[in-house]
């Protein structure tokens, strides 16, 4: 992962701040067993937050994820994502969801035809079980950031499609939250019509462009 020089500076500052905060924690460990248990947890949260700041994407969110559930050690990232990918492929086989591995990221693509009625942001009940399985895997592998992106075809007004893509991304995020996936891990954004994967001049192409993507990125140390 390439880091901007400012990013390196911020990381160094984060490490220094974490180290400074840990000094009183170490001192407090001498005061007794009850304080020792409490301060050990606090130290873990600080180290987790520092690790999260080193991950790609939204630094604040990654810091929150790192503090809440911890980060994946660099040498273990590949294996961690391999296992998550394998589980997702098993659970979504035959559902219409496409899974693609991109380096250490996993991309799930859900065509709108199996997840939403045309022009609607209400998830179809027939898709609930599939999302339940996705949520179960996300809960099993909590050290990943989850970016949900809604996409639309060019059919209809641009503003309508922008709103619809955002509403669909929000609907998937809300459903996953209700299934126990921590909200701090997830972002939802509507991409509108600007990122087609097929030709919008045909119905088959427009159908492919109406989709929701879930991008999973490891939060690393």
Q: What are the strands of the beta sheet with 211-218, ordered from one edge?
A: 98-102, 105-111, 211-218, 144-151, 186-190
Average pLDDT value for residue range 140-168: 95
- Decide if 157 is inside a domain: yes
Is pLDDT of 157 > 50? yes
Residue 168 lies in a domain: yes
Q: Which value, in Å, is the radius of gyration of the alpha carbons in the chain?
A: 20
Give the three-state DSSP class for 183.
helix
| 153 or 15, greater pLDDT | 153
Global model pTM greater than 0.75: no
Asked, for residue 165, whether it belongs to a domain, the answer is yes
Structural domain tally of the chain? Answer: 1
Residues 6+ away with beta carbon under 8 Å from 117: 124
Domain at 91, CATH number: 3.30.1330.60
Asked if residue 138 is part of any domain, the answer here is: yes
62-81 mean pLDDT: 73
Both tokens assigned to 117 = 């009625």
Segments forming the whole domain that contains residue 102: 80-218
Residues 118-136 have pLDDT tens digits of 889 999 999 999 999 999 9
Q: What is the pLDDT of residues 172-199, one digit of tens each?
A: 999 999 999 999 999 999 999 999 999 9
Residue 54 belongs to some domain of the structure: no
* CA angle (128, 147, 85) in 5-degree steps: 70
Percentage of residues in the chain having pLDDT higher than 90: 62
In a domain? residue 47: no
Lowest mean pLDDT among 45-54, 122-131, 165-174: 45-54
Kindly indicate the confidence band of residue 220, based on its pLDDT and cuts at 50, 70 and 90: confident
Cβ neighbours of residue 27 closer than 8 Å, sequence gap 6 or more:
none
The least confident of 43-57, 112-126, 147-161, 204-218 is 43-57
Residue 148 in any domain: the answer is yes
Dist. CA 212–CA 98, nearest whole Å: 11
**Model confidence pLDDT, tens digit, residues 14-35:** 433 343 433 333 333 333 333 2
**Cα(189)–Cα(68) distance, integer angstroms:** 23
């Amino acid at each position: 992962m390439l880091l901007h020089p400012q990013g390196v500076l911020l990381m160094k500052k984060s490490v220094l701040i974490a180290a400074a905060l840990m000094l009183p924690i170490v001192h407090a460990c001498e005061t007794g067993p009850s304080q020792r248990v409490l301060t050990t947890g606090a130290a873990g949260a600080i180290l987790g937050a520092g690790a999260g700041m080193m991950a790609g994407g939204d630094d604040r969110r990654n810091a929150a994820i790192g503090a809440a559930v911890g980060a994946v050690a660099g040498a273990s990232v590949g294996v961690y994502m391999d296992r998550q990918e394998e589980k997702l492929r098993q659970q979504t086989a035959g559902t219409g969801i496409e899974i693609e591995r991109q380096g250490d990221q996993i991309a799930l693509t859900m065509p709108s035809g199996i997840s939403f009625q045309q022009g609607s942001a209400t998830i179809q009940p027939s898709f609930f079980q599939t999302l339940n399985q996705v949520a179960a895997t996300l809960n099993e592998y909590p050290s990943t950031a989850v970016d949900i992106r809604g996409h639309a075809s060019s059919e209809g007004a641009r503003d309508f499609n922008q709103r619809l893509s955002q509403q669909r991304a929000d609907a998937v995020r809300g459903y996953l939250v209700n299934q126990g996936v921590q909200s701090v891990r997830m972002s939802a954004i509507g991409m509108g019509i600007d990122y087609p994967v097929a030709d919008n001049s045909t119905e088959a192409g427009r159908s492919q462009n109406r989709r929701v993507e879930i991008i999973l990125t490891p939060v690393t140390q």
